[in-house]
Amino acid sequence: MIKFSKMKNGHLKDTERGRSAEYQYLELGKEILENGIDQKDRGTGVVTRSMFGVRHEYDLSKNFPLLTSKRVYWNGVIAELYWFLSGQTNIKYLVDRNVHIWDDYPYKIYLEKTLRQAQGKKSKTKMTKDEFIEKIKEDFKFAKKWGELPRIYGEMWRKWPTRKKGKTIDQVQWVIDEVRADPNAHNLIVNSWNPEYLYGMAERKDASRFPICHNMYQISNRHGKLDLILYQRSCDYFLGVPFNIASYALLCVILAKILKLKPGRFIHVYGDIHIYENHFDQVREQLKRKPNPFPKVSIKGKVSSLKDFRPEMVVLEDYNPHPPIKAELTVAGGYYDGKKKNGRRKS
User: Rounded to whole angstroms, how far apart are CA atoms 84 and 155?
Assistant: 8
User: Rounded to whole angstroms, how far apart are CA atoms 19 and 12?
Assistant: 13
Cβ–Cβ < 8 Å for 83, 94: yes
Q: Is 252 a catalytic residue?
A: no
User: Rounded to whole angstroms, how far apart are CA atoms 207 and 209?
Assistant: 6
**Among the listed residues 220, 81, 105, 210, the one whose alpha carbon sits nearest the alpha carbon of residue 157:** 81
- Which are the contacts of 176, defined by CB distance < 8 A and separation ≥ 6? 255, 258, 259, 305, 306
> What is the maximal distance between C-alpha atoms in the chain?
68
Cβ–Cβ < 8 Å for 250, 78: yes
Q: Which of 78, 101, 213, 283 is catalytic?
A: 213
Catalytic residue positions?
A: 213
